Amino acid sequence: MNSIRFHLSFALVVVLVAVLAFVSFRTADRAEDLIVPEIGQKAETAARSVASLVERGLAVGIPLNELVGLDTYLSGVVEKNVGLSRIAILGPDGEPLYAAGTGTALEGARVPITPGDTGADAADTSVQVVIDLDPAYASSVVYRLWIDLAIVMVVTALVALELVYISFGVGVYGAIEGMELRLQSLRRGDLSAHQPVEAASVFGRLAGRFDARLNALTERFRSALSAARRRGDAVVEAALGTLRKQYRLGELFGASPVTVVAVRAPLFVFMLAEELTRPFLPIYIQRLSSPIAGLSPEVVISLPMVVFLAIVALAQPLLGTVTERTGRRRAMMTGAALGAAGYVATAFAFDLLGLTIARAVTAVGFAFVFVAAQGFVIDSTSSRQRTRGMAVFVGAILVAGMCGPPIGGILADRLGMSAAFIAAGVLAAASLILTALSLPRVDRDKTRAPMIHWRDFALTLGTYRLAGLFFLCALPAKVILVAVCFFLVPLHLEALGNDPATIGRMLMIYPLAMVVLVPLFASFADRVERRGLLVTLGGLIAGAGALLMTIGADNIYVIAVMLLVLGIGQAMSITPQSALVGEYGAPLAGKVNESSLYGIFRLIERIGNALGPIIAGALLGLYGFATTAILIGAIVAAGAVVFGLTVAVRREAGGAEIEGNTA
């Protein structure tokens, strides 16, 4: 909480949110005053249209009380025009001759019907069309507006934090971080030297003055130590040695400066482009799809998603070496360009084949960006800095996952899905520009990462604990995430009549739970050292969340709780899973390197991603939304139980073995 960066970011967010809150309040406060007259004008237009229709009937000689089908027509007008509650045609006595809807005290329009060419006296046919307005409609619009404004404020605050990285730049941000590290070291009595930082900013100059004083102190210490050695004064030399050990005088903190922040802005913007499409991608595919013999419509809808995820899964293990050879910067720019082309092509696709090809191009771009960004983090950090570097990498992805769906839903609802895909293409192009501006042109010389060999697969999957972790926990976790959260929920909510903006708000629940809870569960897992138990409980909770569909699959609030429970379960298990890979793979040291071990783990996870839509599509065509979600949840929970039993049996066997050896 004493972080300089935290205080700067917090101050920026507070000012920004305060301004947005004021603007939002003024907007929402005036919204109802603007909406009611608009609804009244719409009611006036509808009333005149109905009056004109009745007048044409009267003009051809049809008696007023014999207009067949008018009630049905009025019902259609009420249904098609939100905000209208009732339409009635009142006779000369004021009693309704025809009516549809429910009457209210809020009258919106009253239009007289003239007799036309019938020759009747207008005074004797004082017939009128009266429309009543729905008094709750304006309030509901304002309510939804408040929700959208609140989400925009949250998203803006998160984007503002990312703008800190972009606007400060690597040099300024590095100077802030460098000064922060110096103060933290000084607070704990660590007087080791730090890597130099760019001196162009105030923080850089302050860090330079700090280093100058520390270097002067270190030189005086070395002079005193040299003098003691020349005199042969062992007592003074021992005392100075104790001081050096205690305060780390003359040592260097960190093997290299942290430059990971350079990749955060382009990575965040690119991932935001993909996340924009989450709320409406299955719906967009559904509208472009056409029947394929032998496949259900639901499976057909899943095919472009399966192609995308399969390419990402299979390409990433191969691209590590490619991005090293071509350079991380060039690889990220290539991926961003392919992504931009893919999103724009998706916007203009006119059939399922064109859409699938466009998504395939996007997938190659996505894989390039992901692997190159991850490789840049590894290249730019020492082993001591790796955790902080990966936190920057993962943080950019999680924040994009929170910001993208609600914004994408709003764009699709207001401008259309094609326009939202074009917006994603613009973001991918912006990522290309940010990559060109942020990342260094020349990569550091690195030893080429080893490729994964078939022998590595055999040894890794031959270890039953690793195989259990991979296939009972990691793979099902990704299946339920993609199948339920990204495929089933958008399609089902759209079928219930929800717009893309509502779907986007719903899909924000899962990443929000992840952002908040992953650090908490990661810290807890490190303290309790019961990672296997956490992975088991996480899988059980995630699977149990889908069982909530037995309560009410058509209730949007029940679906929201399911997504929240899914996020809690995944947050509980995601970090312990990664830690268990290293723990269970320790006996393979010398046979399978750590990079290959984790590469196999990530590959199996991504295979789960690719299987999610096809499994969900096949089950959806057979059983419907609720049963499909319940079946997938039950499989995930069952896998977690089997894994938990395996861990428990192994622990008991290990304990018995220890007791036997002791005896």
Alpha-carbon gap, residue 108 to 83, rounded angstroms = 10
Alpha-carbon gap, residue 469 to 643, rounded angstroms = 7
- The H-assigned helical ranges of 85-134 are none
Q: What is the SS3 assignment for 102?
A: coil
Ranges of the chain with pLDDT below 70: 1-6, 8-9, 24, 26-36, 115-125, 138-139, 142-143, 161-174, 195, 198-201, 250-260, 381-391, 442-451, 526-529, 650-663
Take residue 585 and report the two structure tokens written for it: 């793979």
pLDDT, position 85:
83
Alpha-carbon gap, residue 115 to 222, rounded angstroms = 110
Dihedral sign (CA 146, 148, 154, 157): negative
Q: Which amino acid is at 51?
A: A
Q: How far is CA 285 from CA 155, 280, 441, 498, in A?
A: 27, 9, 39, 17
For residue 160, what are the β-bridge partners?
none
Indicate the average pLDDT of the chain.
81
pLDDT, position 305:
93
In this structure, are strands 193-194 and 127-133 parallel, antiparallel, or unpaired?
unpaired
Q: Which amino acid is at 647?
A: V
For residue 271, what are the β-bridge partners?
none
In this structure, are strands 127-133 and 252-253 parallel, antiparallel, or unpaired?
unpaired
Residue 509: partners with Cβ closer than 8 Å, 6 or more residues away:
560, 563, 564, 567
If you search the block for the tokens 């419907």, which residue do you land on?
Answer: 624
Order of strands across the sheet that contains 96-101 = 96-101, 84-90, 127-133, 107-113
Alpha-carbon gap, residue 297 to 383, rounded angstroms = 50
Alpha-carbon gap, residue 349 to 416, rounded angstroms = 14
Q: Which amino acid is at 217?
A: L
- What phi and psi values does residue 194 have, to the nearest 5 degrees? -120, 160
CB 408, CB 280: distance < 8 Å:
yes
- What phi and psi values does residue 87 have, to the nearest 5 degrees? -125, 130
pLDDT, position 209:
83
pLDDT, position 651:
59
